[in-house]
């Protein structure tokens, strides 16, 4: 679905709310009264939700304790089916909204729109719900994959230069497991320059192998979540090409497995979007991808 809606994480929405653009859009003279009324009605009907303005007449709605925002609301010109043309309407947009009247390739497929404020608030209450753990895990998994690739590039790219210094021409990742490279590791060279080049190359190669091994280990999406007042932890197995819902668990925070607790104690000390080899990845304060294995994951 090329135009599919992908909700931002709550941590990103909360950060954007602190930016000047949020207050500017809130107070801007061209903000339509219909949007202001829509936001007020959403707050009145949905209770303890926050909003973050992403444009003059567009906001995301979220609960601070969720992983992803509930969805998007707005007031804009919407394409009219059959009759053609456009008309300014209120709309809601959500990850699980699949409007059967709009083709999947269109932006409006994930929206419901109407001129009636009462109708749209009712639809928002009905459809803007917290995402299940498996869906949040899949969305976060797409972000994690980019960061895993970045971590691997951090150790693989230097190998091009190191292999050129040692062999006279750059090697690429597919060449590093050759028999020649394995046998040259134990050779003693006479030239000081070659000795240094060999040492640097094999040090870099060991780092690359270790990173590849680390990223190939079992990985688990771990989210510190809130289940309507109860502090819980969501655990979902991760695979590079997808998130598997089979085996996903939601357990009370006080029953957090010891192997996860140990890794979180380490990874919570680093900045967001940081991967620690053999430990895991921190996306934000509440979303992590933890390295595990068949023994400690039980």
Distances (CA, A) of 291 to 165, 170, 225: 34, 32, 19
pLDDT at residue 75, rounded to an integer: 92
263 belongs to a structural domain? yes
Distance of CA 75 to the CA centre of its chain: 27
pLDDT at residue 114, rounded to an integer: 92
1 belongs to a structural domain? no
Residue 87 pLDDT exceeds 70? yes
5 belongs to a structural domain? no
Domain final residue pick, 95, 113, 131: 131
Question: For 97-106, b where at least 16 C-beta lie within 10 A, e where not — what string?
Answer: beeeebeeee
Residue 282 pLDDT exceeds 80? yes
Give the number of domains in the chain: 2
For residues 136 and 119, membership in a common domain is answered with no
119 belongs to a structural domain? yes
For residues 126 and 137, membership in a common domain is answered with no
103 belongs to a structural domain? yes
3 belongs to a structural domain? no
4 belongs to a structural domain? no
* Residue pointed to by tokens 């749209």: 120
Domain extent, residue 283, equals 132-298
For residues 98 and 195, membership in a common domain is answered with no
Residue 2: pLDDT band (50, 70, 90) is very low
Residue 1 pLDDT exceeds 70? no
Mean pLDDT on 262-278: 94
Domain final residue pick, 131, 150, 179: 131
For residues 43 and 181, membership in a common domain is answered with no
Model confidence pLDDT, tens digit, residues 132-163 = 888 899 899 989 999 999 999 999 999 989 99
For residues 177 and 243, membership in a common domain is answered with yes
At 162, which helix (H) or strand (E)? Answer: helix 133-167
What is the C-alpha separation between 129 and 136, in angstroms, rounded? 12
Residue 265 pLDDT exceeds 80? yes
Q: Per mean pLDDT, which range of 206-210, 260-264, 290-294 is the poorest? A: 290-294
What is the C-alpha separation between 51 and 25, in angstroms, rounded? 12
For residues 149 and 265, membership in a common domain is answered with yes
Helix (H, G, I), strand (E, B) or coil at 98: coil
For residues 144 and 290, membership in a common domain is answered with yes
For residues 90 and 147, membership in a common domain is answered with no
Residue 265: which residues within 8 A CB-CB, separation 6 or more? none
pLDDT at residue 242, rounded to an integer: 55
Integer-rounded Cα Rg, in Å, for the chain is: 25
For residues 127 and 17, membership in a common domain is answered with yes
Question: What tokens appear for 223 in the block?
Answer: 């989210």
Model confidence pLDDT, tens digit, residues 43-82 = 999 988 999 999 889 999 999 999 999 999 999 887 766 5
Mean pLDDT on 274-296: 87
Model confidence pLDDT, tens digit, residues 156-208 = 999 989 999 998 888 876 678 788 888 888 899 999 999 999 999 999 999 99
Classify burial at 258, counting beta carbons within 10 Å of its beta carbon; exposed 0-12, middle 13-18, buried 19 or more: exposed
Model confidence pLDDT, tens digit, residues 203-260 = 999 999 999 999 888 899 999 988 878 899 999 998 766 555 466 889 999 999 999 9
For residues 148 and 288, membership in a common domain is answered with yes
């Amino acid at each position: 679905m090329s135009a599919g809606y992908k909700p931002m994480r709550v941590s990103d929405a909360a950060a954007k709310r602190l930016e000047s653009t949020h207050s500017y859009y809130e107070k801007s003279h061209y903000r339509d009264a219909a949007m202001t009324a829509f936001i007020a009605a959403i707050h009145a009907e949905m209770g303890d939700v926050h909003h973050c303005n992403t444009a003059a007449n567009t906001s995301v709605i979220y609960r601070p304790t969720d992983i992803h925002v509930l969805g998007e609301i707005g007031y804009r010109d919407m394409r009219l089916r059959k009759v053609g043309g456009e008309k300014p309407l209120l709309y809601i947009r959500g990850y699980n909204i699949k409007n059967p009247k709009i083709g999947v390739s269109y932006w409006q497929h994930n929206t419901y729109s109407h001129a009636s404020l009462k109708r749209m608030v009712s639809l928002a209450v009905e459809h803007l719900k917290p995402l299940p753990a498996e869906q949040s895990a899949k969305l976060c998994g797409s972000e994690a994959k980019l960061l895993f690739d970045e971590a691997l590039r951090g150790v693989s790219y230097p190998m091009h230069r190191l292999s050129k210094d040692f062999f006279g021409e750059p090697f690429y990742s597919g060449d590093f497991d050759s028999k020649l490279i394995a046998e040259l590791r134990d050779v003693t060279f006479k030239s000081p320059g070659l000795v240094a080049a060999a040492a640097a190359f094999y040090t870099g190669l060991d780092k690359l192998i270790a990173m590849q091994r680390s990223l190939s280990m079992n990985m688990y999406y771990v989210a510190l979540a809130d289940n309507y007042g109860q502090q819980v932890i969501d655990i979902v197995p991760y695979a590079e090409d997808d998130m598997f819902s089979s085996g996903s668990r939601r357990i009370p925070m006080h029953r957090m497995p010891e192997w996860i607790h140990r890794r979180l104690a380490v990874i919570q000390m680093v900045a967001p979007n940081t991967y620690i080899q053999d430990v895991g990845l921190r996306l934000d304060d509440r979303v992590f991808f933890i390295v595990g294995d068949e023994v400690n994951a039980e």
